[in-house]
Structure 1
Amino acid sequence: MLRVAVVGSGPSGVYAASDLVRQSQVPDVRVHVLDRLPCPYGLVRYGVAPDHEKIKSLQNNLRGVLEDERIGFLGNVEVGAHGLGPQRLLELYHAVVYCVGAARDRRLGVPGEDLPGSHSATDFVSWYSAHPDAPHDFAGPALAARSAVVIGVGNVAVDVARILARAADDLHRTDVPQGALGALAASGVREVHMVGRRGPSQAKFTTKELRELGALTSAEVVVDPAELARDPAYGSPDAAAALPAAIRRNLDVVRTWAERTPDRPAAADGVRRLHVRFFLRPVELLADGGRVGAVRFERTAPDGDGGVRGTGAYEDVPAQLVLRAVGYRGVALPGLPFDDRSGTMPHAAGRVLRDGAPSPGEYVAGWIKRGPTGVIGTNRPCAKETVASLLQDAPALSARRVADDPLAELRAGGHRPVEWPGWLAIEAAESALGLSLGRGSVKIPDWAGLLDAATR
């Protein structure tokens, strides 16, 4: 029997577990999927916006994998705690696949970034997604803001801008936690600015996400035609024709908004304005009464080489809430090699490299392997490559003696794993909570509540 631990139960981890047990090259493979949280699914549960129900339904596919009798889910198990480091894992399992994602947001690196009212979009997403580690201060001064600035033009920026601009009644049928739903309903935000330092032809959002902004009944989208005109691809049919079809569609969407903006009436009472801005680079967050009060941007212009340059012209955008959404970054795990420049683990076809050589039994997949790129489906070929390497190494790996019962060893080491029945109990508790509130399933947002539900 080949025993494998997969660290992380998000898509990359679940895909790796699936490939390990559904292959015929190596018989009798058993997998434990370990996660620090008591709940599986990673960013599908805690990163996908609550109003993206189709994407969230991917949980059903991941569930089918984790219910396989050859796979065991062990939540509430933190690698690095209670002596469970990489060396100990290799004493318990023949191989370990690290699928720990990219847990840290990238910073702006500008003055004033740490003022009260300035947050990472990651924290905001974690809050409305009920992550048990999320900060809980968005229900206070943050959402009392009149104007919010979201820095970034990727899908995470689009998500948080949409949640800020969406009517809370639209979220009642989702699983957003009750406290966050109440805070969003009482939000004072009326102006949302989503700002990118480059033009629309270089933005990272997808057309589907972008169109959802225009479909909001609670907000009108505002685009300045002069900002679009700075993009070489906007006014040049030849330049636009050379772009990928997805980017051309993005240009069509923002062009439509820009063309209709001058003729639209002023926003009605209670309707928010969502400004989509381009060619503005944040240079400083300005204080007002001890909190953030505005963001100072430098106007940028295309540099002719695909980037942008500063122009020396500045604009201050009022904002009492600032959310940075400029990307994620991997975090080093104690005892494992880490490339600080790329924020990834060094590897060769998924084999972890120590001092340039493959480390027997150690593998990596997902964002911590390739960086925070691609969509959920990108994790499939990434995991498949890693598993192929592991299976090639299996004869040598399986010859090494490991623990007969890794679960018993984990318990003896002080861990209290939440197994699959415990997760099902959490699901049942969330359904009961939603029923008591006249809603569908509602997430439990805190550690105590989740662990209590898991043991009922």
Structure 2
Amino acid sequence: MSADEDPGPPSPPPRLRVAVVGAGPAGIYTAEALTRQQEVPVAVDLIDRLPTPFGLVRHGIAPDHPKMRAIRDTLHRALDHPAVRFVGNVEIGRDLSCRELHAAVDAVVYTYGAALDRQLGIPGEELPGSLAATALVAWYTGHPDADRATVEAALARARSVVVVGVGNVALDVARVLARTPAELESTDMPQHVLDALAAAPVERVTVLGRRGPAQATFTTQELRELGELAEADVLVEPADLELDAAAEERVAADRVASRNLAVLRDWAAHAAQPGRATVTLRFFARPVRLLGEDRVTGVEVERTVVDADGRASGTGETTVLPADLVVRSVGYRGGELPELPLDPGRGTVPNDLGRVLRGGGPSPGEYVAGWIKRGPTGVVGTNKHDARETVATLLADVAAGVVRPGGSGDDDLVAALRANGADPVLLEDWRAIDAAEVALGATRGRARTTLHEWESLLAAVKEAAARVR
């Protein structure tokens, strides 16, 4: 080139192409962290098995939590970023293998959560009338894979309910079951859910915690909402609130535990009122056996004691609670994705600061964030810090040359999926589903009604596409 020739503008640097598997809070916060950094230009494909984004914000937070569910408005802003593409209705392992996905992009971040329930491991757990909280929550939030028949059959005869666990999900379940039809009418629950809950004969809900109130993991906001039920009384046994020195020390050092205990002590003076349902919080109690032959009829409960380290052990003192429905809410665990390692004990993918570990060493270009990285802990906002940590790790690998922007070439992931016979749902398609839910809600005087069937979700996409043509 001669000195007089104009070399033209410099070529733009190659983009870092990242696939994020899971469009729940962890995945969306990961996409947000990638688009906000200034070190390297990015293009993010946010992949989800469902045709809808938001994960547990849509299908985990109870629908009577409008303020909490409004967080999806915040999450939606990340989806609107021009460098982010939502790719729903795509299942890794079915439509594309992990190996094929990794070959199509420069890096993959797995954020698909921990959707499987943990079991109690006690006799009788397999009886009809024994449900995982995950099954009940999926049903009342309108998840398209919910086992409607099983849940509704269990609810139809549920006069006495025992919920095992003292986390936020357990309180959600107890609160939803104790709500009146009028309290739930304005929510976005599918109509069949509202009808089944209105018909359920629930009179008593007992929430069991194997340890004491000082060790309970629910938040104060969730706890207080129990006290706002229109036609149910919340009961607590005063003796359960008598703490030993170690528990008092724990409460004094933990503001959430201290606030929780104040709420519980206020309720200890409550008495059941005639004609009203009851929600009883019972601590130092663990189920040891579910009773019944053809279905659950009761729960054998053992009194426990808690040592100075917070470990519970049985005393041998047992009682029996009548129960037509038992809901276990004792935690979640991650499921296995083909080709991805999983620690079966922890239910997480082995990792170091988000780097996936294979054979004891990091797997170049593979990362995790959210529950599948750290386990099912924290609240929705916890995923933001977690995602930032993983993105920082990814960018450090880019700086070190472990991951190379542009190394995957320019093949389009959506085009490759369609060539494989998949039918990806993109952001505009999701907007069509969103609009259909708002329109359905308007016919019933609500802000929204969740579409709960695969057929209806995908039909909304096709109908919107047909109108455009």
Scaled by the length of structure 2, the TM-score of the pair is: 0.92
Q: Is the 8 A contact 1:169 1:185 kept in 2?
A: no
Query: Within the alignment, does 1:130 sit opposite 2:142 as a pair?
Result: yes
Query: Matches of residues 127-166 of structure 1 in structure 2 within 5 Å?
Result: 127-137=139-149, 138-166=151-179
Query: Cα offset for 1:293?
Result: 0.4
Q: Counterpart of 1:402?
A: 409
Residue 113 (structure 1) aligned to one of 101, 125, 146: 125
Query: Within the alignment, does 1:72 sit opposite 2:79 as a pair?
Result: no
Residue 267 (structure 1) aligned to one of 258, 262, 273: 273
Number of equivalent positions: 445
Residue 330 (structure 2) aligned to one of 305, 326, 339: 326
Query: Within the alignment, does 1:445 sit opposite 2:458 as a pair?
Result: no
Q: Percent identity?
A: 52
Q: Counterpart of 1:255?
A: 265
Give the superposed CA RMSD.
1.5
Structure 1 residues without counterparts, runs of 5 or longer: none
Residue range with higher mean Cα deviation, 239-248 or 328-337: 239-248
Structure 2 residues without counterparts, runs of 5 or longer: 1-14, 464-469
Residue range with higher mean Cα deviation, 401-410 or 13-22: 401-410
Query: Matches of residues 81-230 of structure 1 in structure 2 within 5 Å?
Result: 81-82=94-95, 84-137=96-149, 138-229=151-242
Q: Counterpart of 2:286?
A: 281
Larger radius of gyration: 2
Quickly say closer, same or farther: Cα 1:340–1:141, change in 2 above 3 A: closer
Q: Counterpart of 1:2?
A: 16
After superposition, the C-alpha distances for 1:289-311 in whole angstroms (9 at most, x for unaligned) are x1100011111112343212211
Q: Alignment partner of 1:442: what SS? A: coil
Query: Within the alignment, does 1:309 sit opposite 2:322 as a pair?
Result: no
Q: Counterpart of 2:359?
A: 355
Query: Cα offset for 1:216?
Result: 1.0
Residue range with higher mean Cα deviation, 396-405 or 428-437: 396-405
Q: Is the 8 A contact 2:305 2:315 kept in 1?
A: yes
After superposition, the C-alpha distances for 1:146-201 in whole angstroms (9 at most, x for unaligned) are 10000000100000000011112111111011000011111101000001111100
After superposition, the C-alpha distances for 1:76-101 in whole angstroms (9 at most, x for unaligned) are 0000003x111100111111000010
Q: In structure 1, how many angstroms separate the alpha carbons of the residues matched to 2:214 and 2:438? A: 43
Letter in 1 for 2:265: R
Q: Is the 8 A contact 2:155 2:197 kept in 1?
A: no
Query: Cα offset for 1:415?
Result: 1.1
Q: Is the 8 A contact 1:91 1:402 kept in 2?
A: no
Runs of 4+ in 1 over 6 A off after TM superposition: none
Q: Is the 8 A contact 1:76 1:416 kept in 2?
A: yes
Q: In structure 2, how many angstroms separate the alpha carbons of the residues matched to 1:401 and 1:204? A: 44
Query: Cα offset for 1:403?
Result: 4.6
Letter in 2 for 1:6: V
Query: Matches of residues 24-103 of structure 1 in structure 2 within 5 Å?
Result: 24-27=38-41, 29-82=42-95, 84-103=96-115
Query: Cα offset for 1:228?
Result: 2.3
Query: Matches of residues 234-253 of structure 1 in structure 2 within 5 Å?
Result: 239=249, 242-253=252-263
Q: Is the 8 A contact 1:4 1:93 kept in 2?
A: yes
Q: In structure 2, how many angstroms separate the alpha carbons of the residues matched to 1:241 and 1:286? A: 35
